[in-house]
Amino acid sequence: MRLPIRHVQQNLIFTTHGTAWAVWRVAATNYSHAPAAVKRRRLKALEGLFKAMTGEPMVLSG
């Protein structure tokens, strides 16, 4: 199978169909002993990131 990738520049992937993908990674951090306020700040930051996405965002988790 041939992938429809035309160009890769840093974390952006441009396809032959005219769409672009951004790839990034959120580093895992152990928050099991962190205070609740720290956990809430991290959650708010990630929620803000995902809510700001436009178009057809897809979040993959591994």
Whole-angstrom Cα distance, residue 54 to residue 51?
8
| pTM recorded for the entire structure | 0.49
Q: How many CB atoms lie within 10 A of CB 42?
A: 14
Of residues 25, 30, 20, the one with CA closest to residue 46: 25
- Predicted local confidence at residue 21, as pLDDT: 84
Per-residue confidence in pLDDT tens, the chain, 62 aa: 677 889 899 989 999 988 888 887 777 778 889 999 999 998 898 888 888 887 776 766 65
Of residues 16, 22, 21, 20, the one with CA closest to residue 3: 16
Whole-angstrom Cα distance, residue 13 to residue 6?
8
